[in-house]
Amino acid sequence: MAGSLLLLLLCVLPFALYLGEQRTEFRIKGTKSPYQIPALVLSYIPLKENGKINTDITGSIRTDDLETLRNKISNLTNQIVTSLEEASRYHGYKNPSAGGSLDYFIFDTKEFLYSVPRSDNQVPWNPGVYRPDYHGILSDLSICDYVDNKGIKEVWIWGYHYGDIEPAESNMAMGAVSKKHWNRGNYGDVSNSEGINDMPTCNKTYTLYNYNYGRGLGEALEDHTHQIEAVFKYIDHILFWNKFVESYGETDKINHCGWSHCPPNTKIDYDWRNEIDALSDCEDWKPDGTGKVQSANCHTWYGATCLDDSGARFKIWWMQNIPGKDNNLIYKGRQLRNWWDFLGDFDLALQMGKSLLFPVSSPLPPSPTRLQSPIPTSSLSPTLALTPTPTTEIKPPKKRIIPLTAITVAGGVVLTILLLGLLLFRYFHKGNQ
């Protein structure tokens, strides 16, 4: 009996080693996958007693019908998801095989049929107008359970910009794990807001975007591009703003990529449809200024027709020129990181160094926190729900894997034959007794 068990163990062990090898190989390969970005979506829609939207509170939003607005919010939410994923594909407009760095899905949605809760935080440049009560809204939802235990990285709020409410386009609460990088003393906030301590601090970092359902996709994407600008200026102002953004709108020098309000060919805010030519190296941007220069105007990002879409197409093009996955760019002898690291997992990216360049020697990053299973799907986007296996784009040093496949399979076959032979021998031996 003991001999049979030993032979069985010897048969199983090679296959276990083989499967373990495959799991190790998959884990390392998996670091090339996009970051999963689970988003929590909230909607605030105040109603009148007759069930119509109270436009006295929301201002003009082109409808007072609840179902019509719900459909608009649903459609815009899906468009934002699709656009941000497309925007994270490095040079995706000219490289169809380019992989994206961000993979969004809607984790959960909540609708509140009343006014956006208002805080006492007055907008500095707009007396008598206040920010939403982000701290109260998020505390009531137990946001740190969502962030720390369920993997939420972004909160999207649909509301309005009217009366005494002015939403912050983006807001951040840096997590306790990144405490040494806090930029506000006893808290951290890298965002396109006034930087006050108005969101609960969790263990991990999360970002809030406050959209206006009275506007469209272009305005929503601008919330994200402004957040990108805030994050990259925080990480490396010179490399990002002085080299990637500037110059723009110049006639006597080479322009680079511009920013949310100004494309490479203009200095006028929101002039995304400008047809004037300007020389730019944005589509081949290199930090040392040696990229290929070409004439750029609105047709560069729009194609044949320069659309009136509040700059949506420009913002996607602009983001696709951000150094992304496999950019192979070098600056001062060091390789540029995938800058989307800081949007995909802010805390993990900071652990690798507060820099848009790889360190000279990159340590193996800690394993990313896995999302709690199962993940609820969203009625807004049922096809976007993904398997809860978040991975990181930060590439660890290569690990040598010994190819055990042939040895383990052959050994398993031989030992299995031996085991079957032993069992047959015992069967016939007992039959002759």
Split at pLDDT 50, 70, 90, the class of 415 is: low
CB atoms within 10 A of CB 75: 12
Tell me what pLDDT residue 186 has.
98
Split at pLDDT 50, 70, 90, the class of 381 is: very low
**Cα–Cα distance between 404 and 124 in angstroms, integer?**
65
What is the pLDDT averaged over residues 91-106?
97
The answer to whether 286 and 329 are in contact (CB under 8 A) is yes
Which carries the bigger pLDDT value, residue 386 or residue 185?
A: 185
Task: Using the predicted structure, report yes or no on whether residue 262 has a pLDDT greater than 60.
Answer: yes
Task: Using the predicted structure, report yes or no on whether residue 394 has a pLDDT greater than 80.
Answer: no
Task: Using the predicted structure, report yes or no on whether residue 125 has a pLDDT greater than 60.
Answer: yes
**Closest C-alpha to 204, from 271, 147, 267:** 147
CA-to-CA dists, residue 300 to 172, 179, 315, 327, angstroms: 33, 42, 12, 21
Strand 294-296 versus strand 278-280 pairing type:
antiparallel
* 3-state percent helix, strand, coil for the chain, nearest multiple of 5: 40, 15, 50
**Closest C-alpha to 323, from 256, 421, 415, 422:** 256
Tell me what pLDDT residue 430 has.
56
The answer to whether 205 and 297 are in contact (CB under 8 A) is no
**Boundaries of every domain in the chain:** 2-23+405-431, 34-214+337-392, 236-322
Spatial CB neighbours of 360, under 8 Å, sequence gap ≥ 6: 334
**Cα–Cα distance between 176 and 295 in angstroms, integer?**
46
**Cα–Cα distance between 136 and 113 in angstroms, integer?**
17
Per-residue pLDDT tens over the stretch 277-305: 999 999 999 999 999 999 999 999 999 99
Tell me what pLDDT residue 410 has.
53
Per-residue pLDDT tens over the stretch 204-244: 999 999 999 999 999 999 999 999 999 999 999 999 999 99
Split at pLDDT 50, 70, 90, the class of 137 is: very high
Whether the CA torsion 256, 218, 33, 394 is positive or negative: it is positive
Average pLDDT of the residues of the chain: 85
Tell me what pLDDT residue 33 has.
81
What is the pLDDT averaged over residues 359-365?
57
Split at pLDDT 50, 70, 90, the class of 360 is: confident
Question: If you count them, how many residues does the chain have?
Answer: 433
Question: Rounded to the nearest 10 degrees, how much is the dihedral formed by the CA atoms of 409, 412, 417, 420?
Answer: -140
**Closest C-alpha to 286, from 253, 254, 251, 252:** 254
Tell me what pLDDT residue 413 has.
56
Strand 35-44 versus strand 102-112 pairing type:
parallel
